[in-house]
Amino acid sequence: MEKGEEEGLGRVRRGRAHRVAARKEGSKQVKPYLTRKIEPYNLLSEEELEKVELYADRILWEVGLEITDHPFSLDLLRGAGAKVEGTRVRCEGAMLREIIRGSAPREFTQHARNPEKSVVIGGKNTVFVPAYGPPFVRDLEKGRRYASMEDFSNFVKLAYMSESLHHSGGTVCEPVDLPVNKRHFDMVYAHLRYSDRPFLGSVTAGERAQDTVEMAKIVFGSDFVDKNCVVVGLINANSPLGFDKTMLDALCVYAENNQGCLVSPFVVGGAMSPASVIGIVTQTYVEVMLGMALTQLVRRGSPVVFGSFASTMSMQSGAPIFGMAESSLVQMGVSQLARRLGVPCRSGGGLCTSKIADGQACYEASNTLNATLMSGVNFVLHSAGWLEGGLSMGYEKFMMDNDQLRNVARLAEGVDTSDESFAFDAFEEVGPGGHFLGSLHTRRHFETAFIGPGLSDVNSYEQWKEEGERDMLSRAHDAWKRSLLEYERPFMDEGIDEGLKDFMGRRKASMPDREY
Amino acid sequence: MEKGEEEGLGRVRRGRAHRVAARKEGSKQVKPYLTRKIEPYNLLSEEELEKVELYADRILWEVGLEITDHPFSLDLLRGAGAKVEGTRVRCEGAMLREIIRGSAPREFTQHARNPEKSVVIGGKNTVFVPAYGPPFVRDLEKGRRYASMEDFSNFVKLAYMSESLHHSGGTVCEPVDLPVNKRHFDMVYAHLRYSDRPFLGSVTAGERAQDTVEMAKIVFGSDFVDKNCVVVGLINANSPLGFDKTMLDALCVYAENNQGCLVSPFVVGGAMSPASVIGIVTQTYVEVMLGMALTQLVRRGSPVVFGSFASTMSMQSGAPIFGMAESSLVQMGVSQLARRLGVPCRSGGGLCTSKIADGQACYEASNTLNATLMSGVNFVLHSAGWLEGGLSMGYEKFMMDNDQLRNVARLAEGVDTSDESFAFDAFEEVGPGGHFLGSLHTRRHFETAFIGPGLSDVNSYEQWKEEGERDMLSRAHDAWKRSLLEYERPFMDEGIDEGLKDFMGRRKASMPDREY
């Protein structure tokens, strides 16, 4: 499948011309987020959900959680009625549920700097978000290497150009060429400047979360930020059964600023949680309840999401495995618990273990993504780009996943059962043995009847062969190159841009570079 | 990813040794079919299902179906109350439903010559069956070429060796090196001789269906065959709204012999059916009802399955598209209608449009397969091997799909919610910040906690790189070669084998070779 660079670029340019032409014919209005018209799948019975609650409550009371180096959180929990002994917190599940249900919003809007791209998180809505956290990137030409700030900006741009993603994400890859204590400035700036979609903020230290909020205030205005969610932070638990200072600091900053928290335990079943689906679900519920309640104790009504990220494990080698059925079942279970609590849910994505965007990666990603959609998850981190268990962000995988998001979005639309859609007139017109292509009904619905092939090749074998027997990976390679060529920065008021640069400049100058 | 032949064989042999060793440690008991423990997903509401019925009944009465060159079927339908004018049949939906519900079995056993491998079709059961019909085969070494009888036998052997498939299938590929009018003998013989699983019979002519039944009688005995289902035929409608002589002849042969029929319209939305999901569902329902009712008019109580096979279409090029959301929605709809009628359902599989087993193929196959599982489909033709819209049977794809069937089978098992599975003792033992790997609970469930990686590579990036950066396709290549090396023919009584050969010899000698 490898081609000379020159020929490759020619393809890219031809592709660009096609695309521009297609746009002139009238491109589809991109929806800022998905509103599902199909019901979520309910895996667990009411009785089973009650049993989860029962065991969760026993864990909360009989085992408890560890809150390390964070007296502020301990005080809040003690004040709410928890039993605190040293760093061990024990409490009643009912108490946590009462706190959460008492003030956590069922759904909330995360505002984008372009108001047309604000997303509603929760309820029947689903928001697709790029992958988060990979220290490496991979593409077909240069292979795998450490991610740089250039890669980071590229993925922000690709997400901005995407017609399937709804969000700019957070650490779309880790820009390891920048000092650890300063890279958050550049990441937040990239999301704000190169995109106009909503984004995730820094969580690697309380002050970095605060920097994120301050930069958001420059863009949105302080008053607006105090009253509205414009940034969300990904708060991992320290599983099993704990939270550490770094994450709690970030949680407190976002909550006290009325910004959003995705409280998300990250567990590998058999390592950080039991080797059973229901064990993973129950532990996730325990950890999330504590984290969510904390956000409400910090500031009642602050937006918070019930998060879950779970992989299974190869019991032979201890390696984490993504994309398998047990993870799908966990997703289904936790999303039910989130609905039961009355809060939005985060889970799933296009997860895989494969190192490359081969068949393995695509089976695994599709397994996860289909389960995500059927589960009714609201916030889908890792929707695009994820490779090798999250260690690598793939340029081609990013485009391939994007393409697949179109498909699950169509699935979420469900079935039109209007009289028109039954096409009775076409049956009368066409009759037995006829052909529907020329029927009036088909002509009326020609443009929107079925989603198109996207990155899939649906040509005849002969045509495909003539065109060089290309695989999806090779087409995806062209697609991201083309997308970056077509990218144009969205408008930003110069004063705001200056304000951001000024803030970053001062803050960066105020501290030495550090690698932690 | 290409390797020298010698090294390749070395890998195969090493793999074999590993596998034999693994078997000695005690391999898992293979289940003859899947019994789902999770509920099917119900996409359409009761009201919507009633609307489908309403429109289906209007099509049946106001448009009608064409039955060409088959007075026998027309007489049966007229006798049952249909209005027959020439070849056009109009009838009431209620009449067809009454006939079907009156005698078609809710579920039935298709007996295998090895009784341990008999499958139950219908109810909560799911049977995975290889792909059906491709005139071409493809593998990584030899590329794409016309299928031969050797390929056919290979796929029968690979299905026999599979731990995920439950059935030997039918025309696993078309052995184009044999005369059209005689190849069914060799195909049926291969299924009977090289496997001991259930299989699908010939449908390309009434006499070939009868030959299939006669060969089955040699193996199972005439009395047994008359009382039990040992062979099933795939009966396509002539969509839209028709059935032709060939298929009706085959339907009648199987039904009158008390054997099974999969009545399956094969439609490309926008071509042989309307360009709408509910239009496809409704037309499928109409055609299937007529075909199913016919089987019951031929012989009441004969086993029959509600089949559906639907692809969408690229409205730009007219090419069929597999693996997209609309096809998943059709599957969900038709499986509900089948349950409503009280009969087994056939749909889905590992469908794709891709010419090769690349990312596209695997996304598409996984999309289809996950929807199949969630729909609660009972008989899943095309579960393994399908490439390029059914034109090609892929050796590697066959193994890759097989591997994925393990995954959906695990999904179908649902969640264990016994007290033991909640692992409360592990939470007590491990506590906050601990590790579950060494816990007693994990040790108790070590072997069965999670399904293993199978053909997926879950090693570290470094290990994967050291082992040659292989993709799933390359591992699948080794896997099918290894499986054929390990294959051993199941026992068959010599007298029966002689009987089959004798029958085939006489029948073949009785007619000239023909290419139709």
ipTM: 0.94
Beta-carbon separation of B321 and A464 below 8 A: no
Beta-carbon separation of B48 and A417 below 8 A: yes
Mutate which: B47, B48, B360, B395, vs A, most A CBs within 10 A: B360
Instruction: Closest CB to A388: pick one of B357, B461, B469.
Output: B461
pLDDT at position A219, please? Answer: 98
Written as one letter, the residue type at B194 is Y
User: Tokens representing B248?
Assistant: 């009706």
User: Tokens representing B394?
Assistant: 């892929």
CB atoms within 10 A of CB B500: 21
Q: Round to whole Å and give the CA distance between A353 and B499.
A: 51
Q: What is the 3-state secondary structure (H, E, C) of B369-414?
A: HHHHHHHCCCEECCCCCEEHHHCEEEHHHHHHHHHHHHHHHHHHHC
The answer to whether A457 and A472 have CB atoms below 8 angstroms apart is yes
C-alpha distances (whole Å) from A22 to each of A15, A212, A459, A497, B316 are: 10, 38, 19, 33, 12
Peptide bond into B32 cis (omega under 30): no
Q: Round to whole Å and give the CA distance between A302 and A110.
A: 12
Q: What is the DSSP letter of B438?
A: T
pLDDT digits (tens, 9 = 90+) for B471-484: 999 999 999 999 99
Could you tell me the pLDDT band of residue B316, with boundaries at 50, 70 and 90? confident
The answer to whether B179 and B419 have CB atoms below 8 angstroms apart is no
A33 Cβ contact partners less than 8 Å away, ≥ 6 residues apart = A119, A120, A125, A126, A127, A166
pLDDT at position A30, please? Answer: 64
Taking the CA of residue A314 and the nearest CA in chain B, the distance in Å comes to 6
Q: By CA distance, what is A22's nearest residue in B? A: B316
Q: Round to whole Å and give the CA distance between B443 and B438.
A: 7
pLDDT digits (tens, 9 = 90+) for B64-113: 999 999 999 999 999 999 999 999 999 999 999 999 999 999 999 999 99
Q: Round to whole Å and give the CA distance between A403 and A384.
A: 9
Could you tell me the pLDDT band of residue A31, with boundaries at 50, 70 and 90? confident
The full DSSP string for B229-283 is B-EEEEEE--SSSEE-HHHHHHHHHHHHTT-EEEEE-EEEBTTTB-SSHHHHHHH
pLDDT digits (tens, 9 = 90+) for B487-515: 999 999 999 999 999 999 999 999 999 99
Could you tell me the pLDDT band of residue B31, with boundaries at 50, 70 and 90? confident
Could you tell me the pLDDT band of residue A303, with boundaries at 50, 70 and 90? very high
- Does the pLDDT value for residue A29 go beyond 70? no
Taking the CA of residue A495 and the nearest CA in chain B, the distance in Å comes to 45
The mean per-residue pLDDT over the stretch B374-382 comes to: 98
Beta-carbon separation of B240 and A436 below 8 A: yes
Per DSSP, the three-state class of B99 is helix
Beta-carbon separation of B452 and A358 below 8 A: no
pLDDT at position A446, please? Answer: 85
Q: How many residues does the structure list for chain A?
A: 516
pLDDT at position B176, please? Answer: 98
pLDDT at position B315, please? Answer: 85
Beta-carbon separation of A329 and B414 below 8 A: yes
Strands A119-122 and A125-128: unpaired
The mean per-residue pLDDT over the stretch A357-377 comes to: 98
pLDDT at position A326, please? Answer: 97
Beta-carbon separation of A325 and B59 below 8 A: no
Could you tell me the pLDDT band of residue B3, with boundaries at 50, 70 and 90? very low
Written as one letter, the residue type at B115 is P
Q: Round to whole Å and give the CA distance between B281 and B215.
A: 36
pTM listed for this prediction = 0.94
In chain A, which residues have their Cβ closer than 8 Å to the Cβ of B415?
43-44, 48, 277-278, 281, 329, 333
The answer to whether B155 and B173 have CB atoms below 8 angstroms apart is yes
Mutate which: B58, B370, B441, B459, vs A, most A CBs within 10 A: B370
Q: Round to whole Å and give the CA distance between A294 and B224.
A: 69
Beta-carbon separation of B324 and A451 below 8 A: yes
First-last CA distance in chain B: 42
Q: Round to whole Å and give the CA distance between B298 and B292.
A: 10
In chain B, which residues have their Cβ closer than 8 Å to the Cβ of A51?
417, 422
Taking the CA of residue B222 and the nearest CA in chain A, the distance in Å comes to 39
The answer to whether B345 and B334 have CB atoms below 8 angstroms apart is yes
Name which of A282, A370, A361 is nearest A328 in CA terms.
Answer: A370
pLDDT digits (tens, 9 = 90+) for B270-315: 999 999 999 999 999 999 999 999 999 999 999 999 999 999 999 8
Mutate which: B36, B57, B272, B355, vs A, most A CBs within 10 A: B355
Taking the CA of residue B143 and the nearest CA in chain A, the distance in Å comes to 11
DSSP strand E in B62-218: where?
65-67, 83-85, 88-90, 107-110, 119-122, 125-128, 136-139, 143-146, 199-200
Q: Is the dihedral of CA A326, A329, A331, A334 positive or negative?
A: negative
Beta-carbon separation of A407 and B321 below 8 A: no
Q: Round to whole Å and give the CA distance between A262 and A264.
A: 6
Taking the CA of residue B496 and the nearest CA in chain A, the distance in Å comes to 43
Could you tell me the pLDDT band of residue A415, with boundaries at 50, 70 and 90? very high
In chain A, which residues have their Cβ closer than 8 Å to the Cβ of B391?
461
Q: By CA distance, what is B287's nearest residue in A? A: A432
Beta-carbon separation of A325 and B407 below 8 A: yes
- Does the pLDDT value for residue B326 go beyond 90? yes
Could you tell me the pLDDT band of residue A51, with boundaries at 50, 70 and 90? very high
User: Tokens representing B162?
Assistant: 């599979």
B259 Cβ contact partners less than 8 Å away, ≥ 6 residues apart = B201, B213, B216, B225, B229, B230, B231, B232, B233, B253, B302, B303
- Does the pLDDT value for residue A13 go beyond 60? no
CB atoms within 10 A of CB B210: 19
Dihedral-angle region of residue A93 (phi above 0 means left; psi in -120 to 50 means alpha; beta otherwise) = alpha
Q: By CA distance, what is A416's nearest residue in B? A: B278
Between chain A and chain B, how many beta carbons pairs sit less than 8 Å apart? 392
The mean per-residue pLDDT over the stretch A102-111 comes to: 98
The answer to whether A278 and A43 have CB atoms below 8 angstroms apart is no
B322 Cβ contact partners less than 8 Å away, ≥ 6 residues apart = B311, B351, B352, B353, B364, B368, B389
Q: Round to whole Å and give the CA distance between A305 and A343.
A: 6
pLDDT at position B16, please? Answer: 45
- Does the pLDDT value for residue A23 go beyond 50? no
Taking the CA of residue B402 and the nearest CA in chain A, the distance in Å comes to 12
Name which of A238, A348, A344, A355 is nearest A286 in CA terms.
Answer: A238
Beta-carbon separation of A240 and B88 below 8 A: no
Per DSSP, the three-state class of A137 is strand
Taking the CA of residue B333 and the nearest CA in chain A, the distance in Å comes to 9
Q: Round to whole Å and give the CA distance between B410 and B143.
A: 33
**Average model confidence (pLDDT) for chain B?**
94
A123 Cβ contact partners less than 8 Å away, ≥ 6 residues apart = A106, A107, A344, A378
Residue A400 main-chain phi, psi, to 5 deg: -65, -45
pLDDT at position B30, please? Answer: 65
Q: Round to whole Å and give the CA distance between B369 and B363.
A: 10
Per DSSP, the three-state class of B119 is strand
Q: By CA distance, what is B50's nearest residue in A? A: A417
User: Tokens representing B88?
Assistant: 């056009």
Q: How many residues does the structure list for chain B?
A: 516
Taking the CA of residue A324 and the nearest CA in chain B, the distance in Å comes to 6
Mutate which: B34, B362, B477, vs A, most A CBs within 10 A: B362
pLDDT digits (tens, 9 = 90+) for A238-276: 999 999 999 999 999 999 999 999 999 999 999 999 999
- Does the pLDDT value for residue B23 go beyond 50? no
Per DSSP, the three-state class of B417 is coil
Taking the CA of residue B115 and the nearest CA in chain A, the distance in Å comes to 30
In chain A, which residues have their Cβ closer than 8 Å to the Cβ of B457?
353-355, 360
CB atoms within 10 A of CB A106: 12
In chain A, which residues have their Cβ closer than 8 Å to the Cβ of B242?
432-433
The answer to whether A401 and A350 have CB atoms below 8 angstroms apart is yes
Written as one letter, the residue type at B99 is I
